[in-house]
Structure 1
Amino acid sequence: MPSNIESIFARQRATREERKAEDASARAARLKRLREVIVTRIDDIEQALHADLRRTPNGGKEGEIPTVLAEIDNNIAHLEQWMAPQAVPTSPHFQGSQTFIQYEPRGVVLLLGAWNFPFALVLQPLVPIVAAGNSAMVKPNELSPATSAVVAEIIREVFEEQDVAVFEGGIEVAERLQQLPFDHVFFTGSPAVGRLVMAAAARHLTSVTLELGGKCPAIVAPDYDLVDAAGKVTAARFNNAGQLCLSVDHAWVPRAVVEPFCQIVGAVIDKLFYENGELQLNRFPRLVNERNFDRVLSYIDDAVARGARIVRGGQSDRASLTIHPTVLVDVPKDAKIMHEEIFGPVLPVLAYDELCEVTDAIDSHGKPLAMYVFAKKKAFVDQALLATSSGGVTVNHVFMHYVEPNLPFGGVNGSGMGRYHGHAGFLEVSNARSVFIQAESLAD
Structure 2
Amino acid sequence: MSNVEHISGVAITEKSDLSERVRMLAMFDAQKAAFEQDRYPSFDSRVSSLKQLKRGILAQKEALLGALEKDFRYRSHDESMLGDIFSSISAIEYTLKHLKGWMKPEKRAVGIVFQPAHAKVLYQPKGVVGIIAPWNYPVFLTIGPLVAAIAAGNRAMIKTSEYTPNTNTVLAEILAGIFDTDKVCVVQGDVDIAQAFSALQFDHILFTGSTEVGRHVMKAAAENLVPVTLELGGKSPVIIDNHISLDEAVKRFIYGKTMNAGQTCVSPDYVYCPNGKIRELVASLKLRYESMYPVNDGYAKRTRIINSKQHQRLLGYLEEAKKRGAEVISLGDATVNSEECYMPLTLVIGTDRTMKIMQEEIFGPILPIIGYDDLNTVIEEINANPRPLGLYIQSFDKNFQQTVLKNTHAGGVCINDAAFHVVIDDLPFGGVGDSGLGSYHGVEGFKTFSHAKALFSRGRLFFSDMLYPPYGKRMHHWFYKLFVR
TM-score by length of 2: 0.88
Please point out which of 284, 298, 303 is paired with 2:321.
303
Q: What is the CA distance between 1:59 and its match in structure 2?
A: 10
Please point out which of 57, 74, 84 is paired with 2:77.
57
Please point out which of 33, 37, 46 is paired with 1:27.
46
Q: Which residue of 2 aligns with 1:285?
A: 303
Instruction: Say whether the 8 Å CA contact 1:371–1:392 is kept in structure 2.
Output: yes
CA distance in 2, matches of 1:98, 1:387: 41
Q: Which residue of 2 aligns with 1:187?
A: 207
Q: What is the CA distance between 1:178 and its match in structure 2?
A: 2.0
Q: Which residue of 1 aligns with 2:56?
A: 37
Instruction: Say whether the 8 Å CA contact 1:90–1:99 is kept in structure 2.
Output: yes
Instruction: Say whether the 8 Å CA contact 1:19–1:134 is kept in structure 2.
Output: no
CA distance in 1, matches of 2:351, 2:285: 17
Q: What is the CA distance between 1:202 and its match in structure 2?
A: 0.4
Q: What is the CA distance between 1:145 and its match in structure 2?
A: 1.1
| TM alignment of 1:307-386, pairs within 5 A | 307-313=325-331, 315-386=335-406
CA distance in 2, matches of 1:441, 1:135: 41
Q: Which residue of 2 aligns with 1:275?
A: 295
Q: Which residue of 2 aligns with 1:254?
A: 274
Q: Which moved more, 1:430-439 or 1:226-235?
A: 226-235
Q: Which moved more, 1:156-165 or 1:91-100?
A: 91-100
CA distance in 2, matches of 1:61, 1:47: 11
CA distance in 2, matches of 1:298, 1:215: 18
Q: Which moved more, 1:327-336 or 1:289-298?
A: 327-336
Q: Which amino acid aligns with 1:231?
A: K
Q: Which residue of 1 aligns with 2:34?
A: 15
Q: Which residue of 2 aligns with 1:130?
A: 150
Q: Which amino acid aligns with 2:35?
A: R
Q: Which residue of 2 aligns with 1:167?
A: 187
| TM alignment of 1:412-427, pairs within 5 A | 412-427=432-447
CA distance in 2, matches of 1:174, 1:332: 36
- Which structure 2 residue ranges, 5 or more long, are not aligned? 1-16, 463-485
Q: What is the CA distance between 1:198 and its match in structure 2?
A: 0.3
Q: What is the CA distance between 1:165 and its match in structure 2?
A: 1.4
Cα-Cα RMSD: 1.6
CA distance in 2, matches of 1:438, 1:400: 47
SS at match of 2:276: helix
Please point out which of 221, 225, 237 is paired with 2:257.
237
Structure with bigger gyration radius: 2
Matched, 1:437 2:457: yes
CA distance in 2, matches of 1:126, 1:318: 35
Q: Which residue of 2 aligns with 1:221?
A: 241
Instruction: Say whether the 8 Å CA contact 2:239–2:272 is kept in structure 1.
Output: yes
Matched, 1:4 2:23: yes
Please point out which of 138, 141, 155 is paired with 1:118.
138
Q: What is the CA distance between 1:441 and its match in structure 2?
A: 8.3
Identity of aligned residues (%): 34
CA distance in 1, matches of 2:384, 2:38: 46
Instruction: Say whether the 8 Å CA contact 2:209–2:233 is kept in structure 1.
Output: yes
Q: What is the CA distance between 1:331 and its match in structure 2?
A: 1.4
Instruction: Say whether the 8 Å CA contact 1:184–1:207 is kept in structure 2.
Output: yes
CA distance in 2, matches of 1:229, 1:43: 35
Q: Which amino acid aligns with 1:298?
A: G
Instruction: Say whether the 8 Å CA contact 1:408–1:420 is kept in structure 2.
Output: yes
Distance 1:234 1:113, change over 3 A: same
Q: Which amino acid aligns with 1:7?
A: A
CA distance in 2, matches of 1:362, 1:51: 38
Matched, 1:96 2:116: yes
Q: Which residue of 2 aligns with 1:155?
A: 175
Q: Which residue of 1 aligns with 2:226?
A: 206
Instruction: Say whether the 8 Å CA contact 1:363–1:389 is kept in structure 2.
Output: yes
Distance 1:197 1:264, change over 3 A: same
SS at match of 1:102: strand
Instruction: Say whether the 8 Å CA contact 1:306–1:332 is kept in structure 2.
Output: no
Report how many residues are paired: 440
- Which structure 1 residue ranges, 5 or more long, are not aligned? none
SS at match of 1:222: coil
TM-score by length of 1: 0.96
CA distance in 2, matches of 1:243, 1:120: 14
Q: What is the CA distance between 1:60 and its match in structure 2?
A: 7.1
CA distance in 2, matches of 1:19, 1:180: 21
CA distance in 1, matches of 2:421, 2:139: 21
Instruction: Say whether the 8 Å CA contact 1:274–1:280 is kept in structure 2.
Output: no
Distance 1:242 1:58, change over 3 A: closer
Q: Which moved more, 1:382-391 or 1:120-129?
A: 382-391
Distance 1:422 1:188, change over 3 A: same
Q: What is the CA distance between 1:291 and its match in structure 2?
A: 1.0
Distance 1:8 1:224, change over 3 A: same
Q: Which amino acid aligns with 1:118?
A: P
Distance 1:59 1:355, change over 3 A: closer
Q: Which residue of 1 aligns with 2:483?
A: none
SS at match of 1:287: coil
CA distance in 2, matches of 1:59, 1:322: 16
Please point out which of 68, 74, 78 is paired with 2:88.
68
Q: Deviations over 1:273-298 (max 9, x none)?
A: 2324x63331x211111111111001
Q: What is the CA distance between 1:332 and its match in structure 2?
A: 2.2
